[in-house]
Amino acid sequence: MNDWSEDEEESIIRNLYNIGLAHANRGKPREAIFYFEQILKVEPTHVGALVNKGNALGKLGRYEEAILSYEVVLARMPTHSTSLLNKGLALHYLLRYDEAISCYNTVLVRDPGNPAALYQKACSCVLKNQPDESLALLERVVKIDPAYASKASRDDDFLSLRDDSRFKAITT
């Protein structure tokens, strides 16, 4: 047990969080994880630490562990968009496309125009061999945010559609 006041403890947690974010932003996920884990020892349900720890784990390709981090948040906040999107992305990288799509659909129920959810769902659909669904989603997201056209044109997930005239029309 420590002798810190509640204000001192909050300040320490805030400082650890900022140091963790700084490491994450500098491309140092291992160091970031260390600081987020220090926070979680004191406050096991700290949303920011859990989400950012999950992100850092994902950067290291430790997708199963990242999913566990997001699930702690989702157990308390089942519609937490960032956790759902990131969990979906980790599932996508694990080739678990149906589960990924389920995460994106949960986001889209509350926010039907969420460009990140639409785009990631399009990626999972194309890899599930659902090109028509993928193209429809991609068309929607590009209407919302035209920057996704360029992103899709370079994304390896859409490799199978590169010669499709519909894909070309959406991405050029």
pLDDT digits (tens, 9 = 90+) for 8-62: 888 899 999 999 999 999 999 999 999 999 999 999 999 999 999 999 999 999 9
**Closest of 129, 124, 39 to residue 88, by C-alpha:** 124
DSSP the chain: -----HHHHHHHHHHHHHHHHHHHHTT-HHHHHHHHHHHHHH-TT-HHHHHHHHHHHHHTT-HHHHHHHHHHHHHH-TT-HHHHHHHHHHHHHTT-HHHHHHHHHHHHHH-TT-HHHHHHHHHHHHHTT-HHHHHHHHHHHHHH-THHHHHHHH-GGGGGGTT-HHHHHHH-
Kindly list the structural domains of the chain, giving each domain's residue range(s) and its CATH number in brackets, ordered by start. 1-77 (1.25.40.10), 97-172 (1.25.40.10)
pLDDT, one tens digit per residue, over 80-138 is: 999 999 999 999 999 999 999 999 999 999 999 999 999 999 999 999 999 999 999 99
In terms of phi and psi (left: phi > 0; alpha: psi -120 to 50; beta: otherwise), the region of 46 is: beta
Q: What is the pTM of this model?
A: 0.91
